[in-house]
Amino acid sequence: ADWVVWMAVVVSMVGGSINVDLMEDGFRNAVRSIERNTDVQNSVRYLKKISKSITQEDIKSSPRAKRLQKETCAFLSQMFKRQNQPVKAKKYLVKLVKLEPSNPQHPTELGHLYYKLGKPEKARKAYLRANSLIPGGDAHLLYFVAEAEMTSEPPMLHDAERHLDLTVRLLQKQGVPPRQLQGRRTLVWARALESLGTVQQRLGLHEKAMNTFQIGVNKGLWISPYRRFHKKRDYSIPDPLPIFTKSTPGYPLWAQTLISNFDEIVENVESITHENFESELENLSVGGDWKVIPLIDINQSMDQGSIAWTKVALEILPSLVQILSKVEEFVSCVLVLGVCDAFISRLQPGTHILPHCGPTNLRLRTHLALKAPTECCSIRVADESPVYWRTGELLVFDDAYEHEVWHNGTQGDRIVLSIDTWHPNIRDQ
C-alpha cells in the first residue's frame, strides 16, 4: 500500500511541484528494501522516479532537493555498476558530474565506464576533466588518459607518450616507492614504465623504449628489460626461460591430453562460425586481422569460485571443457590469479601482433596449433630467434617476456588454442 501511495505521488510530481519530505522518506525506504533484497523492482522504479522528477529549477531553489538527487544518483550508479550494467550506471554518473562539477571522482568513474563500454575517446575526455580538477595533476589519471589514447581508433600514440612521460615524472616528483600498489594488485611504476616503453616502440623509438624498460630493471621491478609485468608479485621465478621445450623441467605434461584429443578439438572448432569470433580489444595488431573466442569469463569465475565457461565452450567444445576442468594447474590459476585465460586465437594472413608482455610473471602460456600454414606463422619471445607454430604441436612460453607475432603467409588462417596455467617454477618470495 505504501508503494502505491509513493508511486502515485511521485508520478504526479513529474512536471509539477515536489514534496521533498515524502521523497526523502521514500528514498530511505527504497534503499532499505534494496539492501534487504525485498521488493527490489519497485524500489528501483521509485528511485528512478525520484531522479527523473527533480528538475534543474528544484536543484537551484532547494538544497535538500539537490542533496536528494545526489544521493539517489550515487546509489543508483553504484548499484548498476555492481550489477555489471554500465549503460544504466553511466546515466546517473553523468548527472553526478553536473551536480558536483568540482568533484574529480565522478568523471573518473565515468571514464572507467566509457572505457568498459568500448568508448575510449569519451573515456579520455572524462579522465582529462578529472585530472584538471586536481592541483598538479594525478599520475593515475594521466595513465588512464594515455590508456584511452592507446586504444582509440586510430591510436593517439604521440599524445599517449606525452601523458605517460608526465605520469613517470609525477611518480618521481612525488617520491612514489617502486613497489607502490594501486588497489590490491597493480604495481604503479611497472604499469607506467611498461606502457611508456611500449608506446615508444610503436613510434619506432626502440632505443628510447629499451632505456625506459631498463628503468624498471634498475628499480628492481624486473630482472630483464624483456621480461615485464605490472601485477603484484608475492613470488619469484628463479632463472625464468622464455620458451619451454619437452626437455625443460616443468614442461606441462598435462597438455599431452590436448594432443591426444586433437582431431576432436579441431573438428569442433571448425564448426564455429566467424560470427563467434571477437576482435581483440588492445589494439595490438596491424594489418590482416586478429580475433579471439573467449572460452571462460575470468571475473565471473573468480566471483563464483568455479570456472564460468562461455556459451561457445559449453555448446561447441564440451570435450575440451571436460579436459580442462580436470587440469588443476589451469583451474586454480584462473580462480586465484585472476589473469589466467583460455581462448581460441585466429590470425589472418598479413597480421602482425606488436611487441607486448603479459600482466604477470606467475603464469605459463600453452598453445596448441589447430591450424598453422607451414613456415609462415612465427613468434619471437624475448630476444630469441622466432619459432614457428606447427599444426598439431604445442608451443609453450612465458608470456611475461616480450613477444611479437607474424603471419607472413598469403593463404589460410593460423588458429591456436591458448591455455594459461601456473608457472611451474614459482618460489615463495
CA angle 104, 110, 113 (to 5 degrees): 145
Integer Cα distance of 216 and 331 in angstroms: 31
Confidence (pLDDT) at 378 = 97
Confidence (pLDDT) at 238 = 84
Q: Please, which pLDDT band fits residue 1 given cuts at 50, 70 and 90?
A: very low
pLDDT at 161 over 80: yes
Alpha carbon 379 to chain centroid, angstroms: 24
What percent of the chain lies above the pLDDT cut of 70?
95
Confidence (pLDDT) at 233 = 66
Mean pLDDT, rounded, for 380-408: 96
Q: Which long-range contacts (CB under 8 A, 24 or more apart) does 305-309 make?
A: 305/335, 306/335, 307/331, 307/334, 307/335
This prediction's pTM: 0.86
Mean pLDDT, rounded, for 382-408: 96
Confidence (pLDDT) at 13 = 53
Q: Which of 96-100, 180-184, 275-279 has the lowest mean pLDDT?
A: 180-184
What cell does 219 get?
628499480
Q: Which residues is 363 bridged to in the sheet?
A: 422
Block residue for cell numbers 589451469: 330
Q: Which of 26-35, 155-164, 310-319, 349-358 has the lowest mean pLDDT?
A: 26-35
Confidence (pLDDT) at 211 = 98
Integer Cα distance of 89 and 48 in angstroms: 12
Q: Which residues is 354 bridged to in the sheet?
A: none
Integer Cα distance of 385 and 378 in angstroms: 10
pLDDT at 311 over 90: yes
Q: Are 34 and 51 in contact (CB under 8 A)?
A: no
Confidence (pLDDT) at 148 = 96
Confidence (pLDDT) at 192 = 96
Mean pLDDT, rounded, for 288-296: 95
What torsion do the CA atoms of 390, 396, 401, 405 make, to the nearest 10 degrees?
20
DSSP-derived letter for residue 324 is H
Question: Quick one: 224 exposed, middle or buried, by C-beta within 10 A (0-12, 13-18, 19+)?
Answer: middle
| CA distances for 195 relative to 148, 205, 283, angstroms | 12, 13, 13
Q: Please, which pLDDT band fits residue 429 given cuts at 50, 70 and 90?
A: very low
Integer Cα distance of 55 and 70 in angstroms: 12
Confidence (pLDDT) at 363 = 94
Q: Kindly report, residue by residue over 55-72, the tens digit of the pLDDT.
A: 899 899 999 999 999 999
Q: Which of 12-16, 178-182, 253-257, 419-423 has the lowest mean pLDDT?
A: 12-16
Q: Which of 24-33, 75-84, 126-135 has the lowest mean pLDDT?
A: 24-33
Confidence (pLDDT) at 38 = 87
Mean pLDDT, rounded, for 142-164: 95
Confidence (pLDDT) at 239 = 84
**Which one-letter amino acid corresponds to residue 36?**
R
Q: Kindly report, residue by residue over 330-345, the tens digit of the pLDDT.
A: 999 999 988 899 999 9
